[in-house]
DNA sequence: TAGGTGACGCGGT
DNA sequence: CACCGCGCCACCT
């Protein structure tokens, strides 16, 4: 837990790597899995400000409309597109991904297991 | 301390 | 569909 009592970023770094290869996830979805459904903006902020771990698949994150919106050198929409195409995720010329088909539809069990893990880690 | 900012999201038009 | 307004909330001046 950080000095101000905030543990959101630690949770993010545990959730991110769970996004399956060949799938994408939304900022809001990650926030929800972190137990903070209203913190979608903070997920983007975490990446923008370099608070995410090395193994965080930043290219697999997009907004709720399916648009790639990376904002730093590690994940520009162009780079995200390149990486996603490489792992078999179709991305249109205007950086749009079909969330229905390639979104990560996590299960309730996965969400519950994460919550348990956070509790065990005290974060 | 107050106010501005934003890799967001939802609901309304 | 698209566009807009507004709520959101940790961070940073």
Distance A41 CA to B2 C1' (A): 21
**To 10 degrees, what angle do helices A108-121 and A8-15 make?**
130
Residue that the structure tokens 């956070």 belong to: A118
CA distance A82 to A50: 21
> Which nucleotide is closest to the Cα of A38 by its C1'?
C8
The residues facing A96 across adjacent strands are A67
**To 10 degrees, what angle do helices A40-48 and A8-15 make?**
80
Q: What is the pTM of this model?
A: 0.96
Task: Say what the pLDDT of residue A108 is.
Answer: 96
Please give chain A's pLDDT, 123 residues, in tens: 554 557 999 999 999 999 999 999 999 999 999 999 999 999 999 999 999 999 999 999 999 999 999 999 999 999 999 999 999 999 999 999 999 999 999 999 999 999 999 999 999
8 Å CB contact between A95 and A67: yes
In a 10 Å sphere around its CB, with 0-12 CB exposed, 13-18 middle and 19+ buried, how is residue A60 labelled? buried
Residue that the structure tokens 């792992």 belong to: A87
> Which nucleotide is closest to the Cα of A62 by its C1'?
B7
- CB of residue A71 closer than 7 A to nucleic acid strand B? yes
């Amino acid at each position: 837990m950080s000095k101000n009592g905030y543990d959101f970023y630690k949770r993010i770094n545990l959730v991110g790597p769970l996004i399956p290869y060949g799938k994408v996830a939304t900022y809001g979805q990650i926030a929800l899995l972190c137990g903070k459904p209203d913190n979608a903006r903070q997920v983007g902020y975490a990446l923008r400000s370099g608070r995410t771990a090395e193994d965080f698949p930043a290219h697999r994150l997009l907004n709720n409309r399916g648009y790639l919106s990376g904002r730093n050198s590690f994940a520009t929409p162009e780079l995200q597109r390149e990486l996603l195409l490489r792992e078999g995720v179709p991305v249109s010329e205007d950086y749009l991904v079909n969330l229905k088909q390639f979104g990560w539809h996590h299960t309730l069990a996965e969400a519950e297991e994460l919550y348990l893990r956070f509790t065990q880690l005290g974060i």
